[in-house]
Amino acid sequence: MLPIILLLSSCLISTSQSQQLFDCDFEESCEHFLFDSYWIVENVSSHADHTYGNLSGHYITYTNSSVLQPFTTTLRTRDWINTSSNLTAWFSNWIYSGPGGVYYKLELAQGDDLQARIPVGIIGFNFDNPQWRHASVEMPYANRFVPFILFTNITSSLDLDDISVDLSHSSQPIPPIKTMFDCDFDKTFCPELLSLSNYSYSWSMIQAEQAQNYTIQAPDVDYSIGDKTGHYMWLNNSDSLQSGGAGYLNTRPFHFTMSDGIYCLSFQYYRFGVTFETSKLTVLALDEDNQKSVDQIWPIDPINYTYINQRWSWAYAPLRIGNYSLLFRMDSEYQVNSSFAIDSISVSSCQYPQKYFSAISNIEFACDFDSSMYSTCGIQNDYTDLRPQSALNFTIQSPNNINDRELGPRQTTGWSGEDFYYWSRSAQTSSILTSGQFKTPLIETNRDMCIRFAYFVNSTNVQSNESNTKIDVSVRGCETENIWSIEIDNSLGWQLVVKSFIPNACRQAVYFSITQRRPTRIAVAFDDITIAQCGTLNVLTTTEPPITTPSSKTSSNSIDSIVLITSLLVVLQYALSFI
């Protein structure tokens, strides 16, 4: 929670022996500060200004004060503030308000996108008699930032005058900067940085002068040295990039604990190309324990993010508490007309609030439903595009505890344990319940990704080749795209499907849907779901199937034994899926 500072006197903090960086008294054009559209400097004053103390002076007025309700308005410095190792910045202003309240938050923004914000505190006035009051607040140490002042609650008239930012000695000891990782590809080459295999795109280090021989749009100088002899990491877009592709640059694992304090990631990126549309750069945290789940690090707010083109740009973000490595992912949804270079990567201590690693997506996914009776690996029943009143839930079951053993499945797939994801309807099930759907957790998909799963279908009271039941597997995130579908009433045991994804790169979920044209007794099951790079799919090997007792009643459409598929056939089926 931010500290709340109620100003009950004319001055909160005073500074001495300070160095003024920016100031504005509104007697001339205010060049050092930027205000949003709710502020104006009037030619005729309604009360004395602070600078001259008479009606001839000027100040800036908040023009929405007649609304007298909570509202947000913003001011910031026009330029960056750069501090030395022993100085901090102070924000000072004079406020004329009352009767009523004025509250504002002070934040320090870092990174060229200004998304990383250090919260300083909430400052508040609440007086009956209007007069000029002074506030001067020390900001936490940061070596490069833009201060933002956000007025979040205004229930009074509001005027500002004599705004300034000064540098002065800190009132608190400035903690030393600790650097955990530093790589500029010239003084430090960082051989531990690896471009992950089995992806369309590969990161590599190159000298700026050499990069120009491949494409004139590439950075002609690096960032750290600033000339053509310097080096950076890049993805060359002149020969190997394809729509829907992706490439990862992986760092070594980091271990961030509460006792270590907070660390921040800083790096420079350069987006280059002929035109700029769908190519994007993202930094993810890859969980060290399972090597699959990831958290978003940068951009901090990725929705409709705007990258800076054709120049080096500063990216900055606080890092989470946890054990993980960093992944620099470049991908392109459709057209590939631009790429990225990165330079000057560092991980150093900073003064941000602590947050913990929290997985939001996965770079691959696998689930055999066997880790525990209630573990669905994050898979959820989902009816967002179905009528909920017509949907039945999937549940984890095994051959020995299913509701309808006559329909099956009476055997497991043979590639994992006993449990599977099961959906069924009996003769007693309401006739309107004819659909079911579940979705996987979010996955960072790309054109080189495949899905493999086993499925089982058996139903009664259907005609030969009626195809009363339809199964659809699709991806949804950027757009809804179908991967695989089948209309079937009897799968003749467990069957294996291996399909490649569409050529698109996106954070999305995979949906498995079942629909019946008319209600019948039916059993459907899924198991051994794997989503990974096609080149990394392991070859399935059969395990000893569990011993089950045959049912005394057998439907003409029931399955008495599993169709055992050998490892050789799995490999063959995998190969044929791409033909």
For 307, residues 6+ apart whose C-beta sits below 8 A from its C-beta are 269, 271, 276, 280, 281, 313
Alpha-carbon distances of 48 from 41, 92, 312, rounded to whole Å: 14, 19, 47
pLDDT of residue 373: 57
User: Is residue 563 a contact partner of residue 493, using CB atoms and an 8 Å limit?
Assistant: yes
C-alpha 363/C-alpha 522 separation (Å) is 34
Q: Quick one: pLDDT at residue 116?
A: 97
Burial of 315 (0-12, 13-18, 19+ CB in 10 A): buried
> Are the C-beta atoms of 103 and 122 separated by less than 8 Å?
yes
pLDDT, tens digit only, all 579 positions of the chain = 444 444 433 334 444 467 889 999 999 999 999 999 999 998 888 999 999 999 999 999 998 865 555 567 899 999 999 988 788 999 999 999 988 889 999 999 999 999 999 999 998 888 889 999 999 999 999 989 999 999 988 888 899 999 999 999 888 888 889 999 999 999 988 889 999 999 999 999 999 999 999 999 999 999 999 999 999 999 985 566 788 899 999 999 999 999 989 999 999 999 998 777 778 999 999 999 888 999 999 999 999 899 999 999 999 999 999 999 999 999 987 767 789 999 999 999 999 999 999 999 999 999 999 976 568 899 999 987 766 666 789 999 999 999 889 999 999 999 999 999 999 988 777 877 788 999 999 999 999 999 999 999 999 988 888 889 999 999 998 888 999 999 999 999 999 999 999 888 999 999 999 999 898 999 999 999 999 999 999 888 776 443 333 232 223 333 323 333 333 333 334 443 444
- Output the six-digit token pair for 489: 């009433």
Place of tokens 């039916």: 522
Q: Is the peptide bond before 175 cis (omega within 30 degrees of 0)?
A: no
Q: How is residue 202 written in tokens?
A: 């590969």
Cβ-based burial of 553 (10 A; exposed 0-12, middle 13-18, buried ≥19): exposed
Residue from 209, 203, 312, 217 nearest 251 by CA: 203
Q: How far apart are CA 109 and CA 273, in angstroms?
A: 29
Please give the pLDDT value at position 17.
62
What is the Cα gyration radius of the chain?
31
- Candidates 158, 168, 169, 163; CA nearest to 147 is 163
Tell me the C-alpha distance between 211 and 269, whole Å: 15
Q: Hey, is 73 helix, strand or coil?
A: strand
Rounded to 5°, the CA angle 129-130-133 comes to 110
Output the CA–CA distances (angstroms, integers) from residue 537 to 81, 91, 415, 571, 574, in the order listed: 51, 57, 14, 10, 9
Preceding amide of 299 cis, omega within 30: yes
Q: What DSSP string describes 278-335? A: SEEEEEEEEETTTSSEEEEEESSS-TT----BSSEEEEEEE--BEEEEEEEEEEESS-
DSSP state of 447: T
Q: How far is CA 416 from CA 78, 368, 545, 575, in A?
A: 61, 7, 9, 22
Residue 363 tokens, joined? 């770079």
Cα separation, 262 vs 348, in Å, equals 8
- Asked whether 550 and 472 are in contact (CB, 8 A), the reply is no
Distance between start and end Cα atoms, the chain: 58
For residues 252 and 267, the answer to whether their CB atoms sit within 8 Å is no
- How many residues does this entry show for the chain? 579
Domains of the chain: 20-174 (2.60.120.200), 180-349 (2.60.120.200), 365-533 (2.60.120.200)
- The dihedral formed by the CA atoms of 387, 392, 393 and 394, expressed in degrees to the nearest 10: -120
Kindly give the pairing relationship between strand 116-127 and strand 4-6: parallel
Beta strands in 139-230 (DSSP E): 144-154, 158-169, 179-183, 194-195, 204-207
Task: Give the integer Cα–Cα distance in Å for 293 and 290.
Answer: 7
Helices and strands, counts by H and E, the chain: 2, 38
DSSP type of residue 490: B
Ramachandran region of residue 92, left (φ > 0), alpha (ψ -120 to 50) or beta?
beta
Cα–Cα distance between 136 and 189 in angstroms, integer?
Answer: 45
Q: Give Dmax (Cα) for the chain.
A: 102
Query: Where would I find the H helices in 129-194?
Result: none
Residue 83: HSE in the Cβ half-sphere, 13 Å Cα cutoff: 26
157: phi then psi, degrees, rounded to nearest 5:
-65, 155
User: CA 130, CA 95: separation in Å to the nearest integer?
Assistant: 10
